[in-house]
Amino acid sequence: MDVEALYNQYFHTVYLYLCSVTHDESLAEELTQDTFFKAMKSLGSFRGDCDIRVWLTQIAKNLYLTHCKKQNRMTGGEIPENEPDRSVSVEDHLADTEQAMAIHRILHDMKEPQKEVFSLRVFGELSFRQIGEIFGKTESWARVTYHRAKLTIIDTLQEESK
């Protein structure tokens, strides 16, 4: 596969995923570039066992976790846990900037794996099968985890609106 074509086709997907996890556009851009650099170096070892998006997202996830560990060592703090939030119609609310910020705040406080599953589904636009592959779990596990994350977002938004 041509590296330039791979970059052009999947850059936006990887970038959106990293934005949703890092909540920092410049860090997401840097990690996205690193993801494609690492993918370019190891493209020959890609076996094709999974969708290329899953492979790229896994590389991005590992780079982000490595970044967090380095930050943890430098600051002495804990690695931030990402957890998805519940929302009545999360996809519809993302169009509203104020609502989107509320959802991102909820996601920021959410625990793993819900946060990442939600982010991969909504921002990374991955299928439940692909998400399950990333975590080494079943498609059903990914569906249930996403649903629980969505319910958490919904409940939190409803509590905040009271």
SS3 labels along 33-75: HHHHHHHHHHHHHCCCCCCHHHHHHHHHHHHHHHHHHHHHHHH
95 vs 160, more confident: 160
Q: What is the CATH number of domain 1-80?
A: 1.10.1740.10
pLDDT of residue 66: 87
- Report the chain's mean pLDDT, rounded to a whole number: 78
Q: Is pLDDT larger for residue 47 or for residue 116? A: 116
The tens digit of pLDDT for each residue in 8-21 reads 888 888 888 888 88
Over residues 83-116, the pLDDT tens digits come to 344 334 454 444 456 677 777 788 888 888 988 8
Q: Write the burial class of residue 52 (CB in 10 Å: 0-12 exposed, 13-18 middle, 19+ buried).
A: middle
Q: Which CATH number fits domain 82-162: 1.20.1260.10, 1.10.8.50, 3.30.70.120, 1.10.10.10?
A: 1.10.10.10
pLDDT of residue 141: 92
Q: Which residue has the higher pLDDT, 93 or 53?
A: 53
